[in-house]
Amino acid sequence: MSVLDGIVAGAREDLEARRAVVPEDRLWERAQEYGQRAPAAAEVIDGLRGTDGLRVIAEIKRTSPARGPLADIADPAALAARYAAGGAAAISVLTEPRRFHGSLEDLETVRSEVRLPLLRKDFVVDAYQVVEARAHGADLVLLIVAALGRRELADLIALARKLGLVPLVEVHDEQEAARAVDAGAEVIGVNARDLRTLNVDPDTFARVADRIPAGLVRIAESGVRDPEDAARYARLGADAVLVGSSLVTGDDPAGAVAALVAAGRPA
Q: Which of 170, 176, 186, 245 is catalytic?
A: 170
Considering 92, 96, 108, 121, which one is annotated as catalytic? Answer: 121
**Catalytic residue chosen out of the listed positions 96, 176, 186, 221:** 221
Catalytic residue among 61, 64, 96, 108: 61
Rounded Cα–Cα distance for residues 80 and 157 (Å): 26
Catalytic residue among 92, 108, 186, 191: 191
DSSP codes, 81-128: HHHHHHT-SEEEEE--STTT---HHHHHHHHHH--S-EEEES---SHH
Has 61 been annotated as catalytic?
yes
Q: Among this protein's residues, is 24 annotated catalytic? A: no
Active site residue 162: no
Give the separation between CA 192 and CA 198, rounded to whole angstroms. 9
Clarify whether 222 is annotated catalytic: yes
Q: Is 155 exposed, middle or buried (0-12, 13-18, 19+ CB in 10 A)?
A: middle
Query: Any catalytic annotation for residue 43?
Result: no
Which candidate in 59, 108, 132, 186 is catalytic? Answer: 59
CA–CA gap between residue 76 and residue 100 (Å, rounded): 14
Nearest-CA neighbor of 59 among 261, 230, 233, 221? 221
Distance CA 133, CA 31 (A): 8
Which one of 64, 92, 222, 245 is the catalytic residue? 222
259 CB-side CA count, 13 A: 15
Instruction: Indicate if 33 belongs to the active site.
Output: no
Give the catalytic positions in this structure: 59, 61, 121, 170, 191, 221-222
